[in-house]
C-alpha cells in the first residue's frame, strides 16, 4: 500500500505549525488559515479536491496587469470590463453571476457596495502574491455565496530578511502605475498608486445599423486609485503565532456611461479597508486558530440621475453616499483521528451593517458552523466531505459538499465533486432604493447545486487539466421591470449551466513557458417562458494562450485572448461580437536588478471592441515598465 | 398612425400623376420649449418637454409633451405641469403649444400617445401612473382652434396607454394591466368597467410584467397588442361590441404596431429585436415573427409607422431610426438608418414622405429630422 496521503498532509500540517515561529523569520509566511499544505499544488487548501487554478502574480512581472486581466487567464473565469483601466470590472466563474462568486482576501470575504459583487478594479493586483481560483458550488468549503466558485487573493508575504521591490509603468491614455513594497522582520508594507486619463479612441457604428465606423474619444473615463497593504507575521512562541493584515484602498473615477448614452458629469469615489488579526497555535495533534476581522467601505456617486447625468450640487442632483461594514470573529480547530483522517471545525459569528441614503440603515447577524473531513482511503483515494450551516439575517441554510480524488499512477489525478449552496440576497438587492432601482425586502436566497469531474496530469514540465461540470441554479435574483420606470429584484430565475475547462502548461527549453486555457460554457435559461434560450453575456467559447520567456537578461511574452460572440438579450437575438486580443511585451535587465520592459496591449488595434452594456474598450496601448526587486 | 384625409388625397393624387408625394424638407432639429415655458406648478421645479407621440393633421405634426422631471428625493418621475400638444410645421419649425390642462391645469397630465381621427386629435393622459389621480383623461383637441374640445375622465384603476378612435368608441389600453377600455365617442364618457376587455397574455408566473402596448382600429376592427416580459400577442376585437375575433402570438415585449401598405400589421418587438408581420385573411391571423431581425446594435425598439412600401422604426436605446423596404428582394430589409445622437432617446417616428421622417427625442427635448445613411 502506498503511504497515506492524509498522513503526509498531517505531517506537513504539524510540521508547519511546530515551525510557526521559525517560519515567520524565513521567507515563508502563513496562509489564510489552518491548512493542509503541499498536497494540492494549484488548489485551495480550503477546498481540497475542487477544480482550481493558481495565478502567480510574479509570473506577470514586467507587465501591467489588473486583477481582472490576471483572473481572465484562469479556466472557467469570464471577466467583463467596462472600459479603460480603473473602470469597473466583474468576474463570472463557471457562468455564475458576479454576485455568485466569492472573492476573499486572505480568507476575508470582500464585498462591493451594498454587499454585492466586488469591483475587480478596486483590487491592487501588484500587492498580491497569487490568486487561487476554485470552481464549483463550494458553499460548504468556502461559505455562503460561492455558487460559481471563489477567488482567494493571497497578499504579498513578509520576509525576515530585508527585501523589497518597486515597479513603475507609464503608458497610453495617461495611464501610470507605481508600486513599491518593503519587507523586514516579518512585516511587509506595500503601496500601489494608479491613474489614467482614460481618454482612449474607439470606433462605433453610428447609427448601429449602418456599415460605417466612426472614431470617438472616450470622455469622463479617468480614474485614480491609491492602495496600501501591511502584513505582519509574528511568532509568539514555539507553537503560536500572530498574523496581522491591513489593506486599504481609495479611488475616484469618472462614470462615462455606455457609448450610446454617455454621462459626462457622473463620478464615483470609494474608500474601503480590511483588517484582520489571527492567533494560531497547536497542542499535540490539535491545531487551532482564532481570528477577528472587519471590513468597511464607503461609496459616493455624484452627478447621476434616473437615466442620465446631472450637475453635481444642483438641487435635483443630490449625491448618493453609502457605507457598509462587516465585523466577524471565528475560531478554528483541526484534529487528526489516526493517520488517515483530519477533522476540522470552524465556528464564526458577526454582524454586517449598511447605511446611507440609497438603502437606509440596516444590519444583520452572521453566523456559521463548518465541518470538514479529510479522509485517506486505500488505493490512493481521498475523500473530502464538508458541511456548513450559515445564518445570514433571518435566512438559514445548509450547504453540503464532497470531493474525491484518486491517484492511479504517478502524477495523474482524477477528481470529482458535488456541492449544494446558497447565496443570501445582498443589502443592495434588499434595500437599495435609488434612481431606477427599487428594493425588495422579501427576497429569499438563491440556491444552486453542481457536480463536476476532472483529471489532472501534473509533472515538473507539464500540467494538463480537464474538467467538466453541470450546475443547476434556482430562485435566481433577477431585476425585472417595475412599472413605470424602475427595475426591482425578484427570485424569478432558473438556469442550467454546463461546461468544459481545459488547461495545459508546459515548461519548454531556453526559459520558455507555454500555456493554453480553453473554456466552454453552455448556459441555458430555465426561467418559464425563456426555456432554452441562453443566458446573456456568457461566451460559449473562451481561449487564452500565452508563450513567455523568463531569463537572466531577456524576457518577453505574447498572449492571445479570444472570446466568442455571446448573447446580449434574453432571446438570443442580439449578440456581442467575438473578440480576439493580442498582447505582447519584451524586456531586458538593464543594470543590476533593474528591468526595463515595453508592453503592447491589443496589438491589432481593434477599436471596435465592447463589453457589457456597450461600453467600448481601448484599442492599442503601449506601456513602458521599469522594475527592480532586491 | 393614420394620415389625414387631406394627406391621403394629396398622396393619391400625386401618385396618380406618376410621382410620389415629396414633403418640404423638415428642419434638422427643432428645440421644444424648456420647462419654464410649460407652466410649471412650482417654478423652482420646472419639468422637461419629454416629447413622445406624433401624428399629423394638415401641414402640422403634433407631438405630446409629457412635461415631467425626476424627483430624486421622491425617487419617482413627477408631472411638473400640465400636458401639452406641440403643433409643429416641420419645414419651418413654427411651433404652437396647446395646453391640455384645462382651467386648473391638471385635467390632463403626462400625455403619451396621440392619434387623429376625422380631423381631431385624441390624446390619453396617464397622470402620475398611480391609476388613482384626477389627471388621467382622454382629451379631444381640435387642431383648427388649438383647443381642447372634450375631456373624458378615466375611472380609477386604469392608466391609459395607446388610443384607437373607432366609429362609436375610442379605445385605450392600460399601462399596468391587460385591460382595454373605452370612452363612448358620442357622449365622451368612459364606458362601464364591465365593458372592458381583458387580454390573455402569457407572462412569467412570478413577478413578470404585462400591459397593453398599443391599440389600433383597422378595417373597422379593434386590434390590441399585449406585451409581457416573455411574450406578446395581437388580439382582434369587434370595435363596437368588443367581441373577440381572433389572436396571434407576435414577438416578446412588442412596443407598437402599424398597418402596412399591403394590409398587414407590422409589430416591432423590443424583447427580441424583431419585426413581426401579421397577415389577416378573413377570420384568420397568421404572423411571421422573424420577418426581420434588427442588427445587434439596435436596442429598445419603440415605434413603427408605415408609409407606402416602407416601414419607419425607431429605437430609443441605440438612438437610431430605421427605414425598412417591405418589398426588398429576399424579404423586409433595412435600407437606411439614422442616428439622433448620444442620449437622444428617440421615442416616436413620423414619416413625412417616403424619404423624410421626424422623431421625438425624449431625452434631448426636441423634434429632429432623420439624416439617413444608406444601408447597402
Quick: pLDDT tens for B290-336: 999 999 999 999 999 999 999 999 999 999 999 999 999 999 999 99
Q: Where are the beta strands (DSSP E) in A508-540?
A: 512-525
Cα dist. B367→B47, B64, B121, B360 in Å?
A: 17, 11, 19, 5
Residue A6's pLDDT is: 36
Q: Give the DSSP H or E segment for A10.
A: helix A5-18
- β-bridge pairing A89-93 and A101-105: unpaired
Q: Does residue A552 belong to the interface with chain B, where contact is any CB pair within 8 Å?
A: no
Residue B57 falls within a domain, yes or no? Answer: yes
Residue B60 has pLDDT above 90, yes or no: yes
What lies within 8 Å, CB to CB, of B76 at 6+ separation is A485, B70
Q: Which of A399, A411, A372 is nearest to A40 (CA)?
A: A411
Verify whether the Cβ–Cβ distance B343 to A316 is below 8 Å.
no
C-alpha cell at B152: 373624458
Strand, coil or helix: what is A429?
helix
Residue B355's pLDDT is: 95
Residue B224's pLDDT is: 97
Cβ atoms A381, A365 nearer than 8 A: no
Cβ atoms A280, A32 nearer than 8 A: no
Verify whether the Cβ–Cβ distance A574 to B231 is below 8 Å.
no
Nearest to B296 among A316, A528, A575 (CB): A575
Could you report the per-residue pLDDT of A565-590, keeping only the tens digit for each? 999 888 999 899 999 999 999 999 99
Domain residue ranges of chain A, discontinuous segments joined by + = 5-629
Residue B46 falls within a domain, yes or no? Answer: yes
Could you report the per-residue pLDDT of B103-117, keeping only the tens digit for each? 999 999 999 999 999
What lies within 8 Å, CB to CB, of B295 at 6+ separation is A208, A209, B334
Quickly state the pLDDT bin for B9 (edges 50, 70, 90).
low
Q: What is the C-alpha separation between B274 and B231, in angstroms, rounded?
A: 12
Compare all CA atoms of chain A with the CA of B340 and give the residue at the minimum distance. Answer: A207
**Average pLDDT, whole number, for chain B?**
92
- B17 and B56 housed in the same domain: no
Q: What is the C-alpha separation between B173 and B189, in angstroms, rounded?
A: 16
Residue B101 falls within a domain, yes or no? Answer: yes
Residue B287 has pLDDT above 90, yes or no: yes
Cα dist. A30→A242, A444, B144 in Å?
A: 9, 37, 85
- Regarding predicted confidence, which is higher, A574 or B205? A574
Compare all CA atoms of chain B with the CA of A572 and give the residue at the minimum distance. Answer: B272
Residue A381's pLDDT is: 93
- B176 and B65 housed in the same domain: yes
Residue B302 falls within a domain, yes or no? Answer: yes
Cβ atoms A139, A401 nearer than 8 A: yes
Q: Does residue A213 belong to the interface with chain B, where contact is any CB pair within 8 Å?
A: no
Residue A12's pLDDT is: 33
- Rounding to the nearest 10 degrees, give the CA dihedral for residues B144, B88, A306, B132: 0
Other CB atoms within a 10 A radius of the CB of residue A323 amount to 17
Q: Does residue A353 belong to the interface with chain B, where contact is any CB pair within 8 Å?
A: no
- Give contacts of B202 with chain A, Cβ < 8 Å: 529
Could you report the per-residue pLDDT of B333-349, keeping only the tens digit for each? 999 999 999 889 999 99
Nearest to A490 among B69, B206, B293 (CB): B206
Residue B288 falls within a domain, yes or no? Answer: no
Q: Which of A601, A602, A595 is nearest to A626 (CA)?
A: A595
Residue A373's pLDDT is: 94
As for how many domains chain B has, the answer is 2
Which site among B42, B47, B73, B75 would you substitute to test the A interface, given the most A Cβ atoms closer than 10 Å to its Cβ? B75
Mean pLDDT of B245-269: 96
- B20 and B152 housed in the same domain: no
Verify whether the Cβ–Cβ distance B229 to A205 is below 8 Å.
no
- B67 and B116 housed in the same domain: yes
- Residues paired with A394 in a beta bridge: none
Residue B21's pLDDT is: 86
Residues of chain A with pLDDT under 70: 1-42, 113-115, 484
Verify whether the Cβ–Cβ distance A316 to B44 is below 8 Å.
no
- B192 and B57 housed in the same domain: yes
- Give contacts of A480 with chain B, Cβ < 8 Å: 204, 207-209, 229
- B6 and B132 housed in the same domain: no
Other CB atoms within a 10 A radius of the CB of residue B18 amount to 6
Residue B218 falls within a domain, yes or no? Answer: no
A95 min Cα distance to partner chain B (Å): 22
- Residues paired with B23 in a beta bridge: none
Q: What is the C-alpha separation between B51 and B359, in angstroms, rounded?
A: 9
- Residues paired with A191 in a beta bridge: A180, A228
CA B97 to chain centre: 19
Chosen domain end from B139, B167, B198: B198
Give domain A5-629's CATH superfamily: TonB-dependent receptor, beta-barrel domain (2.40.170.20)
Compare all CA atoms of chain A with the CA of B208 and give the residue at the minimum distance. Answer: A480
Residue A1's pLDDT is: 33
Judged by CB atoms within 8 Å, which residues 432-491 of A form the interface with B?
Answer: 433-435, 480-485, 490-491
Chosen domain end from B134, B167, B198: B198
- Rounding to the nearest 10 degrees, give the CA dihedral for residues A111, A115, A117, A121: -50
Strand, coil or helix: what is A159?
coil
DSSP annotation of B155:
P
Nearest to A571 among B75, B252, B297 (CB): B252
Cβ atoms B166, B175 nearer than 8 A: no
B204 min Cα distance to partner chain A (Å): 6
Got the DSSP string for B258-280? EE-TTS-EEEEETTTTEEEEEEE
Verify whether the Cβ–Cβ distance A209 to B322 is below 8 Å.
yes
**Residues spanned by the domain of B345:** 1-31+295-376
Residue B185 falls within a domain, yes or no? Answer: yes
- B58 and B170 housed in the same domain: yes
Residue A278's pLDDT is: 94
- Give contacts of A573 with chain B, Cβ < 8 Å: 272-274, 293
- B86 and B19 housed in the same domain: no
CATH number of residue B131's parent domain: 2.120.10.30
DSSP annotation of B106:
-
What lies within 8 Å, CB to CB, of A182 at 6+ separation is A162, A163, A164, A188, A189, A190
A338 — phi, psi (to 5°)? 75, -160
Would you give the end-to-end CA distance of chain B in angstroms? 28
Residue B278 falls within a domain, yes or no? Answer: no
Verify whether the Cβ–Cβ distance B206 to A568 is below 8 Å.
no
Verify whether the Cβ–Cβ distance A305 to B70 is below 8 Å.
yes
- Give contacts of B298 with chain A, Cβ < 8 Å: 208-209, 574
Chosen domain end from B156, B174, B198: B198
- B15 and B93 housed in the same domain: no
Q: What is the C-alpha separation between A488 and A374, in angstroms, rounded?
A: 43
Q: What is the C-alpha separation between A94 and A370, in angstroms, rounded?
A: 24
- B327 and B356 housed in the same domain: yes
Mean pLDDT of B165-176: 94
- Return the ∠ at Cα A196 (arms to A191 and A197), rounded to 5°: 155
A156 min Cα distance to partner chain B (Å): 44
Amino acid at each position: 500500500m502506498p503511504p497515506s496521503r492524509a498522513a503526509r498532509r498531517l505531517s506537513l500540517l504539524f510540521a508547519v505549525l511546530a515551525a510557526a515561529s521559525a517560519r515567520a523569520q524565513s521567507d515563508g509566511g502563513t496562509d489564510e488559515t489552518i491548512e493542509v499544505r503541499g498536497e494540492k499544488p494549484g488548489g485551495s487548501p480550503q477546498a481540497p479536491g475542487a477544480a482550481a487554478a493558481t495565478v502567480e502574480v510574479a509570473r506577470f512581472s514586467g507587465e501591467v496587469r489588473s486583477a481582472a486581466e490576471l483572473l481572465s487567464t484562469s479556466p472557467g473565469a469570464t471577466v467583463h470590463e467596462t472600459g479603460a483601466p480603473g473602470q469597473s470590472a466583474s468576474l463570472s466563474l463557471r457562468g455564475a453571476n458576479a454576485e455568485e462568486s466569492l472573492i476573499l482576501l486572505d480568507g476575508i470575504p470582500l464585498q462591493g457596495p451594498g454587499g454585492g459583487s466586488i469591483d475587480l478594479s478596486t483590487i491592487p493586483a501588484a500587492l498580491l502574491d497569487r490568486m487561487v481560483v476554485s470552481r464549483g458550488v463550494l458553499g460548504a468549503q468556502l461559505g455562503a455565496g460561492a455558487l460559481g466558485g471563489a477567488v482567494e487573493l493571497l497578499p504579498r508575504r513578509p520576509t525576515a530578511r530585508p527585501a523589497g521591490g518597486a515597479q513603475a509603468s507609464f503608458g497610453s491614455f495617461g495611464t501610470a502605475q507605481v508600486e513599491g513594497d518593503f519587507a523586514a522582520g516579518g512585516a511587509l508594507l506595500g503601496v500601489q498608486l494608479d491613474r489614467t486619463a482614460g481618454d482612449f479612441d474607439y470606433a462605433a457604428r453610428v447609427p448601429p445599423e449602418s456599415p460605417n465606423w466612426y472614431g470617438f474619444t472616450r470622455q469622463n473615463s479617468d480614474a485614480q486609485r491609491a492602495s496600501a497593504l501591511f502584513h505582519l507575521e509574528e511568532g509568539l512562541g514555539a507553537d503560536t503565532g500572530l498574523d496581522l493584515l491591513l489593506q486599504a484602498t481609495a479611488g475616484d473615477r469618472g462614470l462615462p456611461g455606455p457609448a450610446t448614452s454617455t454621462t459626462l458629469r457622473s463620478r464615483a469615489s470609494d474608500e474601503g479597508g480590511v483588517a484582520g488579526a489571527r492567533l494560531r497555535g497547536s497542542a499535540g495533534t490539535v491545531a487551532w486558530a482564532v481570528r477577528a476581522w472587519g471590513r468597511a467601505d464607503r461609496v459616493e456617486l455624484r452627478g447621476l440621475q434616473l437615466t442620465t447625468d446631472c450637475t453635481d450640487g444642483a438641487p435635483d442632483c443630490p449625491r448618493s453616499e453609502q457605507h457598509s461594514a462587516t465585523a466577524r470573529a471565528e475560531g478554528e480547530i483541526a484534529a487528526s483521528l489516526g493517520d488517515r483522517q483530519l477533522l476540522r471545525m470552524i465556528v464564526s459569528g458577526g454582524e454586517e451593517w449598511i447605511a446611507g441614503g440609497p438603502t437606509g440603515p440596516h444590519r444583520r447577524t452572521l453566523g456559521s458552523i463548518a465541518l470538514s473531513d479529510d479522509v485517506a482511503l486505500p488505493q490512493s483515494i481521498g475523500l473530502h466531505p464538508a458541511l456548513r450551516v450559515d445564518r445570514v439575517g433571518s435566512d438559514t441554510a445548509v450547504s453540503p459538499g464532497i470531493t474525491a480524488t484518486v491517484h492511479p499512477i504517478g502524477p495523474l489525478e482524477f477528481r470529482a465533486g458535488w456541492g449544494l449552496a446558497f447565496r443570501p440576497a445582498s443589502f443592495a438587492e434588499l434595500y437599495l432604493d435609488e434612481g431606477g432601482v427599487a428594493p425588495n425586502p422579501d427576497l429569499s436566497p438563491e440556491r444552486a447545486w453542481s457536480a463536476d469531474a476532472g483529471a489532472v496530469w501534473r509533472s515538473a514540465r507539464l500540467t494538463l487539466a480537464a474538467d467538466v461540470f453541470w450546475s443547476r441554479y434556482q430562485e435566481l435574483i433577477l431585476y425585472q421591470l417595475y412599472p413605470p420606470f424602475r427595475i426591482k429584484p425578484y427570485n424569478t430565475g432558473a438556469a442550467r449551466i454546463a461546461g468544459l475547462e481545459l488547461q495545459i502548461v508546459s515548461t519548454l527549453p531556453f526559459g520558455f513557458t507555454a500555456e493554453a486555457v480553453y473554456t466552454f460554457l453552455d448556459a441555458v435559461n430555465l426561467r418559464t417562458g425563456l426555456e432554452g434560450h441562453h443566458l446573456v453575456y456568457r461566451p460559449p467559447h473562451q481561449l487564452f494562450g500565452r508563450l513567455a520567456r523568463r531569463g537572466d537578461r531577456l524576457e518577453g511574452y505574447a498572449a492571445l485572448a479570444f472570446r466568442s460572440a455571446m448573447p446580449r438579450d434574453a432571446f438570443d437575438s442580439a449578440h456581442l461580437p467575438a473578440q480576439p486580443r493580442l498582447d505582447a511585451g519584451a524586456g531586458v535587465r538593464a543594470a543590476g536588478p533593474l528591468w526595463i520592459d515595453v508592453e503592447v496591449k491589443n496589438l491589432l488595434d481593434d477599436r471596435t471592441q465592447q463589453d457589457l452594456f456597450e461600453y467600448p474598450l481601448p484599442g492599442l496601448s503601449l506601456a513602458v515598465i521599469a522594475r527592480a526587486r532586491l | 398612425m393614420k394620415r389625414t384625409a387631406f394627406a391621403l388625397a394629396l398622396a393619391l393624387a400625386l401618385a396618380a400623376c406618376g410621382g410620389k408625394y415629396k414633403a418640404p424638407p423638415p428642419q434638422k432639429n427643432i428645440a421644444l420649449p424648456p420647462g419654464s415655458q410649460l407652466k410649471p406648478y412650482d417654478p423652482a421645479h420646472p419639468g422637461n418637454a419629454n416629447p413622445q407621440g406624433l401624428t399629423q393633421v394638415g401641414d402640422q405634426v403634433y407631438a405630446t409633451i409629457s412635461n415631467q422631471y425626476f424627483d430624486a428625493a421622491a425617487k419617482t418621475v413627477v408631472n411638473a405641469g400640465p400636458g401639452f400638444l406641440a403643433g409643429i410645421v416641420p419645414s419651418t419649425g413654427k411651433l404652437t403649444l396647446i395646453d391640455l390642462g384645462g382651467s386648473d391645469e391638471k385635467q390632463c397630465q403626462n400625455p403619451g400617445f396621440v392619434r387623429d381621427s376625422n380631423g381631431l386629435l385624441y390624446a390619453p393622459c396617464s397622470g402620475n401612473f398611480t391609476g388613482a389621480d384626477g389627471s388621467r383623461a382622454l382629451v379631444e383637441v381640435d387642431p383648427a382652434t388649438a383647443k381642447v374640445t372634450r375631456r373624458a375622465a378615466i375611472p380609477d384603476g386604469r392608466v391609459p396607454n395607446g388610443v384607437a378612435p373607432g366609429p362609436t368608441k375610442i379605445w385605450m389600453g392600460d399601462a399596468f394591466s391587460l385591460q382595454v377600455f373605452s370612452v363612448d365617442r358620442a357622449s365622451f364618457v368612459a364606458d362601464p368597467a364591465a365593458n372592458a376587455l381583458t387580454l390573455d397574455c402569457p407572462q412569467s408566473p412570478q413577478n413578470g410584467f404585462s400591459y397593453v402596448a398599443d391599440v389600433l382600429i383597422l378595417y373597422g376592427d379593434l386590434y390590441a397588442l399585449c406585451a409581457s416580459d416573455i411574450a406578446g400577442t395581437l388580439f382582434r376585437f369587434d370595435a363596437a361590441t368588443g367581441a373577440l375575433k381572433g389572436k396571434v402570438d407576435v414577438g416578446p415585449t412588442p412596443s407598437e404596431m402599424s398597418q402596412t401598405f399591403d394590409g398587414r400589421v407590422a409589430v416591432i418587438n423590443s424583447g427580441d429585436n424583431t419585426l413581426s408581420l401579421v397577415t389577416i385573411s378573413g377570420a384568420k391571423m397568421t404572423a411571421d415573427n422573424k420577418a426581420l431581425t434588427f442588427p445587434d446594435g439596435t436596442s429598445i425598439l419603440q415605434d413603427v409607422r408605415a408609409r407606402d412600401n416602407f416601414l419607419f422604426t425607431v429605437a430609443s436605446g441605440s438612438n437610431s431610426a430605421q427605414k425598412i423596404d417591405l418589398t426588398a428582394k429576399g424579404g423586409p430589409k433595412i435600407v437606411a438608418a439614422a442616428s439622433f445622437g448620444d442620449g437622444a432617446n428617440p421615442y416616436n417616428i413620423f414619416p413625412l414622405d417616403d424619404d423624410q421622417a421626424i422623431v421625438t427625442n425624449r431625452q434631448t427635448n426636441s423634434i429632429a429630422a432623420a439624416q439617413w445613411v444608406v444601408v447597402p
